[in-house]
Amino acid sequence: QVQLAESGGGLVQAGGSLRLSCAASGRGFSSSTMGWFRQGPGKERELVAVIAWSDNSTWYADSVKGRFTISGDNAKNTVILQMNSLNPEDTAVYYCNGVVRGKPRYDNWGQGTQVTVSS
């Protein structure tokens, strides 16, 4: 069973930075593309960043473009999300998952990591 574990969240003031980490493991894990999703209060879960291991190409939602950077190590099944210039609208629980055509690949999500940005 695939296991996804996110860490690195916390409380930060507007303008601050956080670095999130994701470790993927388990039988059956194999994803050529990984991404970070987030779910803010009263909102649906949304995809915010994607990395393709084949060429390390990346994609970002407009709301985070220029502020967030996704990276990782395919061999270690780890994905990083560096978040800079945070604003209160970034407050959410952040999750990682494989990505297929913009959708989460695996049904079982990790616990996520809470990011709270104060104004």
What's the CA gap between 43 and 5, in Å, rounded?
A: 22
Rounded-to-10 torsion of CA 106, 83, 60, 71 = -60
**Tokens standing for residue 48:** 């915010």
Q: Which two tokens stand for residue 16?
A: 């601050």
| C-beta neighbour count of 21 within 10 angstroms | 16
Task: Say what the pLDDT of residue 44 is.
Answer: 97
Q: What per-residue confidence (pLDDT) applies to 46? A: 97
How confident is the chain (119 residues) per 10-residue block, as mean pLDDT?
95 98 88 94 97 94 98 92 98 97 94 97
The predicted pLDDT at position 48 comes to 98
Q: What is the predicted pLDDT for the residue at 27? A: 82
Residue 93: what pLDDT?
A: 98
pLDDT given for residue 23 in this prediction:
95
- Which of 22, 72, 69, 23 lies closest to 49 in space, CA to CA? 69
With beta carbons less than 8 A apart as the criterion, state whether 22 and 5 touch. yes
